[in-house]
Structures are given as structure tokens and as C-alpha cells.
Amino acid sequence: MSVDGEPSKDIHRPDHPSSVGWVAHQRVELFNDNPLNLEAGGSLSSVITEYETYGLLNSKRNNAVLILHALTGDAHVAGWDSAPEGDLREYRKFKPGWWDQMVGPSKAIDTDRFFVVCGNVLGSCYGTVGPSSVNPKTNKAWGLSFPVVTVGDWARHQAALLDYLGLDYVQCVLGGSMGGQVALELALAYPERFKGLIILSAGHRVTTQGLAFNAVGRRAILTDSNFNNGDYYDGPRPLSGLAAARMMAQITYLSEESMGHKFGRRLRGKDSPDFTLTGVEFEMESYLNHQADSFVKRYDANSYLYLTRAMDYYDAAAKWGGGILAETAAIIQARTLMVSFSSDWLFPPDLCRELVSAMCLARRPVSYVNIPSRYGHDAFLVETEQVRRLIHGFLATNAL
């Protein structure tokens, strides 16, 4: 990091002064004594949970920051994984964490100042128990026998991880997209526990259009000939369905402007079309195919079903305020920063402003920024400099 705070070109190197360096994931069994009773019914006990931490906890144990990952993310938010393991972890080799540009010494979330925690959610395929995990009662993968989980369950699971780490008080909880939903739910379920709340590219619910795209993605998986009612772990996997779901989702993460700028209607490696129905003709097609092919190597189709369904079910106003968003917002005690992006049509600015307006009506402390961006929903991961400045400023004024 340079003197004025601008990131240097080699900031992602593990030996860079602003990197947390080589890290190893940690695991813990939660809910050993008291099972986690789930909102949709059923329960889970002895919940294996994967998490990572960076920085040091101070003597008062009040400098913690909790980060929540997005839909297909994991606990590896910063640094370089020293021991990636398993087929679905190969993608982590020789790559920094998914938000490495934000977390580390002298970065926006400064690990010289904060003790940073990121835990993997229930139902994922990255170390925390989910449908691809072995059910101890059957010694087989859970598959669709894994219970349905919700954003509320994720929040209680994260709170249990904080309990295990001895963190009764958290300086800030933050997340983008799905992670923003979980951050909001934590601030509602445990209002006195969090001093700050940062929500990026997320809102109190998914839009109707978001529900529709998630439904199409799940349909692609469910109708794959290899899906086998979710019991595919000993045979061919539903890779075609998962690939189609990823391609559909990838479109929602972008915008017309970003797609047009990057790909336009350019043909792939030729000056004129081949007039084929089965081949790849356009650069846009090639990009989506690449995204799909890399995704299916690292993610589980059942996890995709569980996590997108949990996002769909979440409606903070219905759950906490009897359908009235201002009454929901009144519960929040954390000082809040809400960030939207102009071209995001998965969690559009108008939806984000609904929560901001409700917080203003409830006289809750909230700051709101809508960042002009052509990058769509992915902007919270792409517009790094503007997001970095906002987070740094918020944490600086939300001082211990």
C-alpha cells in the first residue's frame, strides 16, 4: 500500500506488507450440546463449521469485524490458502481470498486494528456442513435429506461461531449480496451485539425478477438427467444443469452496459458467423461457457439449490415488522452504511433505498451511497477503490 492509501500493483502477493500472507482455514463443531432448531423444521447438531480469522483480538475483546460471504463464496476472504484440500478447493490454489483487496494491514478492513472473522454458511460445500457432507446416521452424503435452511438459521449459526470465539460484541458486521442479507438479519436478531452494519448490493428481500432467475437456475439443475433426486455423489454429477444455472446467474451479476463494453456483438475468433446452431459464435457465449465450466469444478449443485432458496425466502419486513419495513428498521441499533450500484438489477438501488428510507423514518443512524457503475451486481467486488474508501471511512468514524 502506498503512503496515500492507494493500492500498489503487487498488493496481492502473499509477502506484500499489506497482505495477511499465508493462512489456513479452521474448523469447529458447534451445537454439540443444544441442536440448532431450524426455522423450516428439523434440527442440526454437531455442526462442522469452517472459518478463518485474521489479525489479533485486543485485550477488551471489542475489535472484531465479521464478514459474510456471497452466494458461492467461502470463508477464505483474504490471504493465500496454505492448505487447499478436496476437489472443490482446487480453485483456491495460488489465488488470494475473494476480498483480499479489502482485508489486511493498512487496507480498508485493517488487520493491524481489527480481528476479522469470516465463517462459511450452513448448506455450503466449502467446509461447513451441507448436502455434500456425510450424514453420520447413514454414512452417506446428505443430498436432499439435508434440512432446508434459511437466512435466519445462517444468522444464528454465525452468532454461535462468535460465541465460540468469545466475541460478545462486534465492531461491525458486513457483507455483499447474500452476505448483506445475513448481515442485516444478524443486526435484527442481535441488535445489541453489533455496533456497525455495512450492507453492499443487498436489501431486505429479493426482487420478483430475482426470484424468477433463481427459479430457472434451480429448474436447470433439477431436470438434469444426472440429478437423481440429489443422490448423485457416487456417480455422474448434474454438471450440465449446474452450468446452465451459473450462466443464468452470471447474466444477473452483469449489466447491459458492462456486457456491451466488454463483449458487444463481437464474434469469437472470426470475421463472419458460421451459421451454426451448436457452436460458439459470439464472445459473450464464450465468456458464459468459461464461467460455467470453471464453476462446476468448484461447486455442488445441491448447495446451489439450498442457498438460492434461502435467499428467496428471506423477507425481513415480513419476519420482523409484520410487513412494515419501518417497524423492522426500528429494531436495528447498529450505525449503518448502505451501498448500492446504479446498474445493479439483482438488488437495484430503488430496493436498497426502501430500507434506507425505512431507517430514516425509524430515526436510525444510516448513511447511503449509490455508486455510479456499469458493472451491475458484481460492482461491489469490482469497484474496489470506491468501496474501499467508503468502508475505510465508515470504520474510522465508527471507532472503538
**Tell me, what's the pLDDT at 93?**
66
DSSP string, 175-239: EETHHHHHHHHHHHHSTTTEEEEEEES--SB--HHHHHHHHHHHHHHHTSTT-GGG--TTS---H
**Tell me, what's the pLDDT at 398?**
76
**Tell me, what's the pLDDT at 176?**
98
What pLDDT band is residue 399 in, cutting at 50, 70 and 90? Answer: low
Predicted confidence (pLDDT) at residue 86 exceeds the cutoff of 80:
no
- When pLDDT is averaged across residues 94-107 and rounded to a whole number, the result is 92
What pLDDT band is residue 89 in, cutting at 50, 70 and 90? Answer: low
Of residues 83 and 243, the one with the higher pLDDT is 243
**Tell me, what's the pLDDT at 8?**
45
Calculate what percentage of the chain has a pLDDT beyond 70: 94
**Tell me, what's the pLDDT at 12?**
63
- When pLDDT is averaged across residues 189-213 and rounded to a whole number, the result is 97
**Tell me, what's the pLDDT at 362?**
97
Helix segments in the chain, DSSP class H: 151-164, 178-189, 208-222, 239-253, 256-262, 283-296, 301-313, 316-320, 325-329, 349-361, 379-382, 384-397
Closest alpha carbon to 320 in 121, 122, 206, 152: 152
Burial call 303-332: b when 16+ CB within 10 Å, e when fewer: bbbbbbbbbbbbbbbebbbeeebbebbbeb
The pTM score is 0.94
Predicted confidence (pLDDT) at residue 1 exceeds the cutoff of 80:
no
Calculate what percentage of the chain has a pLDDT beyond 90: 88
Predicted confidence (pLDDT) at residue 7 exceeds the cutoff of 50:
no
Distance CA 200, CA 319 (A): 21
240-252 per-position pLDDT tens digit: 999 999 999 999 9
**Tell me, what's the pLDDT at 15?**
72
Distance CA 243, CA 230 (A): 16
> Could you tell me if 355 and 334 are in contact, meaning their C-beta atoms sit under 8 angstroms apart?
no
Residue indicated by cell numbers 432458496: 309
303-342 per-position pLDDT tens digit: 999 999 999 999 999 999 999 999 999 999 999 999 999 9
135-183 per-position pLDDT tens digit: 999 999 999 999 999 999 999 999 999 999 999 999 999 999 999 999 9
All domains of the chain, ordered by start, with CATH? 22-207+315-397 (3.40.50.1820), 210-258+287-303 (1.10.1740.110)
- When pLDDT is averaged across residues 359-376 and rounded to a whole number, the result is 97
Predicted confidence (pLDDT) at residue 207 exceeds the cutoff of 50:
yes
Helix, strand, or coil (residue 368): strand
First to last CA, the chain: 24
Active site residues: 177, 344, 377
**Tell me, what's the pLDDT at 81?**
83
**Tell me, what's the pLDDT at 18?**
81
The DSSP secondary-structure symbol of 263 reads T
